[in-house]
């Protein structure tokens, strides 16, 4: 048995405290002591250290009812540790500086089409925008997280393939790292969506969750036992490419009858009678205009959605499925009905006493927030 040295214990406690404040926001000293199982003098010492480093401030809570001295409120200071978050999509790219505690401190975005979608152009634009934003805010990021719709190698951020961006074998992590002079973590967009939901969204507190998003393609991110599931080398979650319909439509992945061809953006357009590859706004408007009771036009589409979700739940046994991107435009009643059907048809859900199926509530910032969390993982451990 190895015994941890006092400085190792202190470092571990400090980083647990930082993580708690980063995800939970302002918390009283007493609540921090309870959450970490530490006594009040240890918490005081740790918080004093963080205050000295400018990472937190302490304040007397405004409404301190009851007898006795109120426990001081510990507030994370967003500007004290900042990361750069980058979200590259088929149609546009966005960057944000995100502070300790998860607050977006500033942002910028631009459209991508034609030549602007070339890796070199994207890298240059990200670097220039990040420098301008950092100068405007007077902040310097410590690390960067980059969300990409594609298959990404975890170790070095090599984008193996991105159908949406028309990229193959792009050393994005290395090239951005060299230009930004920062540690860079690149990840698949659905993976980072799952991370954002886990830390800040519907998945908070859920130890096992699946995030399924329909953008142009359909992707998945998995939280297993409280952590992001990474697979070997970072490749996993391509649930859009499970075969659901033998003899179905050909898919860009080389297979046919993939789930993505039945529940992706193009399938939704066909179901609604809209032209494929039309503007995203038209699809969302059409979905928002639907009555809350199931529209018959969507009946077959929803059957495919349910069939895929039943498979996913039976294989992975999550307590929660979060639907992201285009799926969030589905009416609430429709999503409730999808959840009912999944619970009824999945053996694992019945054994679990019912898996929850919910829409993402983090909105358009979801991937940016996930990219920020990926960057913060290394930053918080080193502060």
241 binds Zn ion (CB under 5 A): yes
Stretch that binds Zn ion, among 12-20, 97-105, 226-234, 258-266 (CB under 5 A): 258-266
255 near Zn ion, rule: CB under 5 A:
yes
Beta carbon of residue 253, minimum distance to Zn ion (angstroms, whole number): 3
Structure tokens at 149: 């719709």
Least distance in Å: CB of 92 to Zn ion? 24
Tokens 């990472």, located at residue = 55
State which of residues 98, 202, 218, 251 lies at the interface with Zn ion (CB under 5 A).
251
User: Rule CB under 5 A: is residue 22 a binding residue for Zn ion?
Assistant: no
Q: Per CB under 5 A, does 314 bind Zn ion?
A: no
> Residues 256, 219, 129, CA angle at the centre, nearest 5°?
125
Give whichever of 15 and 311 is closer to Zn ion, judged by the CB atom. 311
Candidates 32, 258, 267, 307: give the one binding Zn ion (CB under 5 A): 258
Report the alpha-carbon angle 150-156-161, nearest 5. 25
């690149």: which residue's tokens?
A: 186
Q: What are phi and psi of 344, to 5 degrees?
A: -70, -40
CB of 251 to Zn ion, least distance (A): 3
The answer to whether residue 89 forms part of the interface with Zn ion (CB under 5 A) is no
What does each C-alpha distance from 218 to 24, 230, 374 come to in angstroms?
31, 18, 21
163 binds Zn ion (CB under 5 A): no
Closest CA to 375 of 183, 178, 219, 101: 183
**Chain CA centroid to CA 303, Å:** 27
Q: Which is nearer to Zn ion, 221 or 331 (CB)?
A: 221
Nearest approach, Cβ of 151 to Zn ion (angstroms)? 12
What is the smallest separation between the CB atom of 164 and Zn ion, expressed in angstroms? 13
Query: 240 or 331, CB closer to Zn ion?
Result: 240
The one segment of 246-254, 266-274, 293-301, 355-363 that binds Zn ion by CB under 5 A = 246-254
What's the token pair of residue 224? 């297993």
> Rounded to the nearest whole angstrom, what is the least distance from the CB of residue 213 to Zn ion in the complex?
15
Q: Which stretch binds Zn ion (CB under 5 A): 50-58, 89-97, 249-257, 307-315?
A: 249-257
- Residue from 229, 253, 274, 352 in contact with Zn ion (CB under 5 A): 253
Report the candidate in 12, 2, 360, 326 with the shortest Cα–Cα distance to residue 201: 360
> Contact between 148 and Zn ion (CB under 5 A)?
no
Binding site for Zn ion (CB under 5 A): 241, 251, 253, 255, 258
């Amino acid at each position: 048995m190895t015994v941890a040295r006092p400085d190792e214990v202190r470092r571990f406690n400090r980083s647990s405290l930082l993580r708690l404040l980063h995800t939970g926001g302002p918390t009283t000293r007493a609540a921090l002591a309870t959450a970490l199982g530490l006594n009040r003098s240890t918490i005081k010492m740790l918080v004093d250290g963080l205050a000295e480093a400018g990472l937190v401030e302490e304040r007397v809570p405004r409404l301190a009812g009851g007898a006795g001295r109120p426990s001081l409120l510990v507030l994370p200071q967003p500007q004290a540790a900042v990361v750069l978050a980058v979200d590259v999509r088929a149609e546009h790219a966005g960057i944000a500086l995100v502070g300790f505690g998860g607050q977006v401190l500033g942002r910028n975005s631009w459209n991508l089409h034609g030549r602007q979608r070339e890796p070199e152009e994207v890298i240059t634009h990200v670097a220039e925008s990040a420098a301008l934003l950092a100068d405007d805010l007077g902040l310097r990021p410590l690390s960067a997280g980059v969300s990409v719709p594609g298959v990404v190698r975890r170790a070095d951020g090599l984008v193996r393939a991105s159908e949406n961006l028309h990229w193959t074998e792009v050393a994005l992590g290395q090239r951005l790292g060299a230009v930004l002079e920062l540690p860079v973590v690149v990840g698949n967009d659905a993976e980072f969506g799952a991370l954002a939901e886990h830390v800040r969204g519907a998945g908070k507190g859920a130890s096992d969750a699946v995030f399924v998003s329909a953008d142009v393609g359909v992707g998945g991110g998995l939280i297993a036992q409280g952590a992001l599931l990474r697979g070997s080398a970072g490749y996993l979650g391509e649930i859009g490419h499970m075969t659901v319909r033998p003899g179905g439509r050909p898919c860009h992945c080389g297979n046919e009858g993939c789930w993505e061809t039945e529940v992706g953006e193009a399938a939704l357009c066909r179901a609604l009678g809209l032209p494929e590859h039309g503007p995203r706004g038209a699809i969302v408007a059409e979905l928002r205009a639907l009555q809350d009771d199931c529209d018959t036009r969507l009946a077959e589409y929803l059957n495919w959605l349910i069939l895929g979700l039943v498979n996913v739940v039976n294989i992975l046994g999550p307590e929660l499925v979060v639907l992201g991107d285009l799926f969030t435009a589905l009416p609430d009643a429709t999503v409730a009905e999808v959840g009912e059907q999944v619970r009824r048809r999945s053996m694992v859900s019945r054994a679990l006493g019912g898996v929850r199926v919910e829409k993402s509530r983090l909105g358009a910032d979801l991937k940016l927030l996930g990219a920020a969390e990926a960057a913060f993982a290394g930053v918080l451990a080193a502060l």
